[in-house]
Amino acid sequence: METNDGVPAAAGAGPDSPASDSPAQNNTPPVSAAQDNTAQDNPAPATPEVPEFAEVPEEVHGPLPVAELHLHIEGTLEPELIFALAERNGIQLPYADLDELRSRYEFTDLQSFLDLYYANMAVLQTEQDFADMTRAYLSRAALAGVRHAEIMLDPQAHVSRGVALETCVNGVASVLAVSEQEFGISTLLIAAFLRDLSEDSALEVLEQLLALNAPIAGIGLDSAEVGNPSAKFQRLFARAKDAGLHRIAHAGEEGPPSYIIDALDLLDVERIDHGIRCMEDPELVERLVHELMPLTVCPLSNVRLRAVDTLKEHPLPAMLAAGLNVSVNSDDPAYFGGYVDDNFAQLKSVIGLSEFDCVRMAANSIRSSFASEERKTELLAELAASGR
């Protein structure tokens, strides 16, 4: 089915997708200081140590215009920028050179990644550091076809190491305020809270953000999932809802389907990040399809963190076949082997993802965003005009 905007409808959706109470894209100033199928038959082998991704041919067309809905800004710190910021701030890194740092990008699970992810954050000290990181992501994202981005920032991870809340927020927000003018990407900022810390800690930081009138459009829940169920954070999400903020949560990446159900029922989320383990619960799949609940899937991330063994075994094709509202995202692209265009290219090369499904998921990403209805209409028209 195609909608009247000329792009494929989300599965189960009629010509008019439900409207959301979406704020306009974030142009708020920072707060003050007060695929070819030949690879399908013979994919590159995946070893238990380092997942292998296929070489892909150059795209005949440019990248699809998409919204990136699952992106951790700290996860865009490329090795070169880590070393540059360390030198600028006089920080001695525990790696002799870039090759030694890259050699540590071999993860056995989510926690093994998080250990390196948090260690590398030490180089982020000043507003300029956060701004440079954000600008580097937007520059690369523009090449990947990203036209709208909803960017997660982990404020607790910075406050806990002595960086002022204003510093990290201002640094990122100063670049997002001009992102559409400079990069053609509308943006929103989401404060993501660490589920392996206490709810009281999260509430304290949320109240500080609200007191600062920080330019955040919503909150999220990320970090170590297993052993930290959604039920821990009911007061946090209720407070965010009262404050008029959007609400998203990681669930069903490593945690069981029940974590997804709890995020829906206890946290009243509007979007599920990852969600791939929903496929283990047919009743949950039926519910997600019925509710058109967005699932922000990150295929290369799932392989690198061993949520799935190989890309060829990823449940994405089954999720699409079930009618789920799925989009493709990069998560922490500097660590997981690629940005959103790389994810699409690998999916086309390894599992034979069709052009129709690529366009379908691009449309899903736009409709599932918290962008204004005007911006969504604009981006869907751009997608329809791409001739894909």
Where b means 16+ CB within 10 Å and e means fewer, 266-280 reads bbebbbbbbbbbbbe
Match 């699952």 to its residue by tokens: 70
The residue type of 334 is: A
Neighbours of 164 (CB within 10 A): 12
Nearest-angstrom CA–CA distance, 311 and 321: 17
In 62-109, alpha helices (H): 79-89, 98-102
Nearest-angstrom CA–CA distance, 207 and 388: 45
Give one word for 265, left, alpha or beta, with left for phi > 0 and alpha for psi -120 to 50: alpha
Instruction: Give the contacts of 106 (CB within 8 A, at least 6 positions apart).
Output: 49, 50
For residue 364, what are its two tokens? 């899903």
Among the options 253, 291, 313, 378, which is catalytic?
Answer: 253
For residue 269, what are its two tokens? 């989320």
Nearest-angstrom CA–CA distance, 110 and 46: 18
CB 141 within 8 A of CB 187: no
* 127 is known as an active-site residue: no
The DSSP code sequence of 205-260 is HHHHHHHTT----EEEEES--TT--GGGGHHHHHHHHHTT-EEEEEESSSS-HHHH
How many helices and strands in the chain, by DSSP H and E? 18, 8
Question: Could you tell me which of 96, 68, 93 has the C-alpha nearest to residue 82?
Answer: 93
Q: Which residues participate in catalysis according to the annotation?
A: 253
